[in-house]
Structure 1
Amino acid sequence: MNHYPIPRDYPEYQSPPKKVSDGRRFSIYAALDAVFIVVALGLALWLAYILLVGSFVWSVKLVIPLTFGWATLAYLALPRLHQLFTLLYVPNYFIGRTKTVDGILGDPVNLAFDGTETDVHAAMRNAGWVPADPITLRSSWNIIISSVFGTSYPRAPVSDLYLFDTKQDFAYQQEVSGNASQRHHVRFWRVPEGWVLPGGHRADWLAAGTYDRSVGFSSFTFQFTHKVDADTDLERDYIVKTLRFSDHDIGVEVIRDFSTAYHQRNGGGDKINTDGNLPIIDVRDAAHRTPMPAAKKSLRKWKDPADHGVPPVSLLVAGGLLVLNIVGAIQLGIVALTGQDWGWLLIDDGADEPWWILLLMPFMSLIEIFLLVGTLLRHKWARIGLMVLCVISAVQTLVALTGETTSFRAVLFAFLSVFVVLGVSGDKVREWVSGEHTTLRTKQQA
């Protein structure tokens, strides 16, 4: 069919119809939420500037502001900055790449699987692969110890990458040299119901396999991370060969030139390259051919605590810090009334503050706790009010920090105050308050 026949007359440009509304209404809450996202980024950059540049005086105590300055930049400011920028220019449809939690393009999608989840687990375990632990405080600490001291951790967790707006369903790995600094690993995502790959190809699972060659710093955020080997095709082919060697009935169909061959960088800034081919691995009935051996740990997928009604960790941490703040504020109020000097105050002793401010601080802290409880109960305007007070507190702390960066207590409370603002204004808390997390989970399970 000829979609572009030769016109008889010179073409005349047809004006497009008037813009059709997308149905979304202006929301004051959404606008304020966006403002606080940017404000939190500004506070983090301000703190990083104070610690790294604003008071750079050579001394032994310089290690305090430099350490907190790096932590502020790497774990607070730059991730939020990347989130804002990538939201504007990184596409949200399938382009054969995963995304990091900050929205940066991650590892390439270089494998597809046909078969049930049980079949995938049976095939991978039979081929000598080990399921990765979920990311918890304990598993994160264990992988740090393994990487630094060279101890074995075969089930070391992998960082979260996102495809179809969800993090990987599970991941497998093979440890190299007896420690977690080098390893083969592959993440798996279930393909949404009815979704097809470009070109009309179908698969039940998509996967991204890469090889961790060492531990280093991310080029984009300066966070500690694994450095990925550039030739991702070698890891892709290695995964296919281990599966075929262990189970000769596993079939493979290769889609040639599924994507354009390219040289790029992943979410950690590491160079990657691929020829663009996509193997589709048929593991159907693998569970019947090679039943999974009994394991001490269940292969049940780790669920987000929010699935069980548990608030996000960032909101719980912010609540804990606010509780400490109110205890300190009450102590200051007692000091103002009794005139006694308590050397173990949890916050600054307030010696230069007027008495009426010292008496007002406990009441302001009580309001913060009231708004925190409202946020935990998912009242969106309580969250807005909480962010307002947290921003005011953070600004006061940053102003007071100027010229006092060698004080560990001053630096610590400045860092924590900015962390609270970033946490309360973050995506996890917004989803918790608005119920977006529950809605997304329901759609995925439907």
Structure 2
Amino acid sequence: MARRTIPTVPLPEFVPKPEVDRALDWVFFVFGGVAAVWLAYLLLRESFTLGWWQIAFAVVYWVLLAYLVLPRLHRILTRIYVPDYFIGRARTSDGLLGDPINLALLGDETQIHEAMNRAGWTLADDLSLQTGVTIVKSTVLRRSYNEAPVSPLMLFGRKQDFAYQQEVNGTPGKRHHVRFWRCPPGWMLPGGHRAEWLAAGTYDKSVGFSLFTLQVTHKIDEHTDDERDHIVETVRGANPAASVSVIKDFSTGYHSRNGGGDSIMTDGDLPILNLRALPTPPGALGEVPTDSREKRPAPIIVGSLLMVFGALSTAIIAAAVAAAWPELLKTLDVDGDDGEWVLWFVFAFLALVALAELFLAWQVFLGSNWARVVALSANAIGLALQVVSLESGGPAITIDTSLIPVALDILLLLALSSHSATTYARSQRKTPKRIAARPGGVAAY
């Protein structure tokens, strides 16, 4: 397994967004939520006309509801009522309160990997389309997948830096797992306690449906303290140089639910696992730490592909105009060269629109925020015109007419207005200054 290197520079910081930009992001985000609800209504109404296709359509509707509509609604509502500061809980990508933060660590990243490897833990793969398909297959077929990915949870505005797990009984349906987040430079726990990493450890006992979003997910055991203690015991048992101290009653003991609706309970104690005395493997210094917000998120990729699809559709229409040129001239109620000019104008306009869409798609893919805003604005205007046309007695939106194009427009709106797409497009990095590491290899922030 490739080892991760010790950071020698602080994490890049994000320049705060102006209030106008924040407001514009929020408008697009809420508009996307409203559009998703509208699409759910259109699909539900259309399902009554499909006869035997209703069963297959129900699956499509569940996917829309569970993975697009409900997450967006939760994200809108949780922005209002869930605190946006550290309260000892991670958050789901939908904004719901997730698993409890039940472990703090001192030490560099390489020491954590060394300690977890010695303790018999396996580094989890990053979640992607390929690994997602693999974990579904392994769960259904009950096949071992030691490196199965874990779902993202958010802390400090970003998903976990990495995760470790221990598979149980050779199936990814049951496993010990723990997520790790690097703390921001200079950050301290409430009460002034020093921590360089925070972690959330829970035990997956089965696979089921989320209570709040209806998504397929792992269900965790409610006794999260048992998992916390299991992590500490396995690491200390395999690493004699590791030590632990406990902040008693760091939080009030509580019973609650996580973002999947699973019950959780904890006594509120927070162990601090000190790994600084562990030997550092040679040759591990020198690389800049990565930040998950620097990676191109899936919504940016999906949005770019949808824009390319739209450009190709426009180009096909332009090609159809060119192919049917003589027939179109006959149908135009104009004479002579006027008909030619009209067709040339239509063809040129469609060609320019297709080229503009391709250019915008490429800029969005590269992370250009202005291109994202232009694409969102054009998309929102187009959807608003669809609603106005419908309410004015225009043609109904059905699966035989414009339902699919409308659905693709709403998918584009949801993708480019998502939190990860917005963060990626609007992030501006300050150039970090490389500074010397402390004795023992821990970067001095």
User: Do both proteins adopt the same fold according to a TM-score greater than 0.5, normalized to the shorter chain?
Assistant: yes
Map 1:327-366; keep pairs closer than 5 Å. Answer: 327-339=312-324, 362-366=351-355
Distance in 2, matches of 1:109 and 1:244, equals: 19
The answer to whether the aligner puts 1:404 opposite 2:393 as a matched pair is no
Candidates 33, 42, 52, aligned match of 2:44: 52
SS in structure 2 of the partner of residue 284 of structure 1: coil
Candidates 49, 74, 78, aligned match of 1:82: 74
The answer to whether the aligner puts 1:36 opposite 2:24 as a matched pair is no
Candidates 255, 258, 267, aligned match of 2:247: 255
SS in structure 2 of the partner of residue 287 of structure 1: coil
Counterpart position of 2:161:
169
The answer to whether the aligner puts 1:419 opposite 2:388 as a matched pair is no
Candidates 300, 304, 327, aligned match of 1:319: 304
Letter in 1 for 2:299: S
The higher-RCO structure (CA 8 Å, 6+ apart) is 2
Deviation of the 1:304 alpha carbon: 4.4
Taking only the aligned residue pairs, the percentage that are identical comes to 42
Distance in 2, matches of 1:62 and 1:445, equals: 60
Pair 55,169 (structure 1): closer, same or farther in 2 beyond 3 Å? closer
Asked whether the 8 Å contact 1:114–1:204 carries over to 2, the reply is yes
The answer to whether the aligner puts 1:368 opposite 2:357 as a matched pair is yes
Letter in 1 for 2:196: D
Q: What is the RMSD of the two structures over their aligned residues, measured on CA atoms?
A: 3.6
**Can you give the 5+ residue segments of structure 1 that lack an aligned partner in the other structure?**
1-22, 293-298, 341-354
Instruction: Say which is worse superposed, 277-286 or 244-253, in terms of deviation.
Output: 244-253
Deviation of the 1:34 alpha carbon: 2.4
Distance in 2, matches of 1:378 and 1:154, equals: 34
Distance in 2, matches of 1:365 and 1:206, equals: 48
SS in structure 1 of the partner of residue 189 of structure 2: coil
Candidates 103, 110, 113, aligned match of 2:105: 113
Candidates 144, 155, 160, aligned match of 2:147: 155
SS in structure 1 of the partner of residue 31 of structure 2: helix
Candidates 226, 229, 233, aligned match of 1:237: 229
Counterpart position of 1:387:
376
Pair 312,277 (structure 1): closer, same or farther in 2 beyond 3 Å? closer
Distance in 1, matches of 2:430 and 2:164, equals: 28
Distance in 1, matches of 2:383 and 2:269, equals: 50
Letter in 2 for 1:169: D
**Can you give the 5+ residue segments of structure 2 that lack an aligned partner in the other structure?**
1-15, 326-342, 435-442
Pair 282,304 (structure 1): closer, same or farther in 2 beyond 3 Å? closer
Distance in 2, matches of 1:402 and 1:213, equals: 47
Asked whether the 8 Å contact 1:82–1:104 carries over to 2, the reply is yes
Counterpart position of 1:194:
186
Deviation of the 1:421 alpha carbon: 0.9
Letter in 1 for 2:237: F
Letter in 1 for 2:147: R
Counterpart position of 1:66:
58
Asked whether the 8 Å contact 2:244–2:272 carries over to 1, the reply is yes
Letter in 2 for 1:383: R
Distance in 2, matches of 1:65 and 1:43, equals: 19
Q: How many residues align?
A: 397
Asked whether the 8 Å contact 2:310–2:357 carries over to 1, the reply is no
TM-score w.r.t. the length of structure 2 is: 0.78
TM-score w.r.t. the length of structure 1 is: 0.78
Map 1:263-274; keep pairs closer than 5 Å. Answer: 263-274=255-266
Distance in 1, matches of 2:421 and 2:431, equals: 15
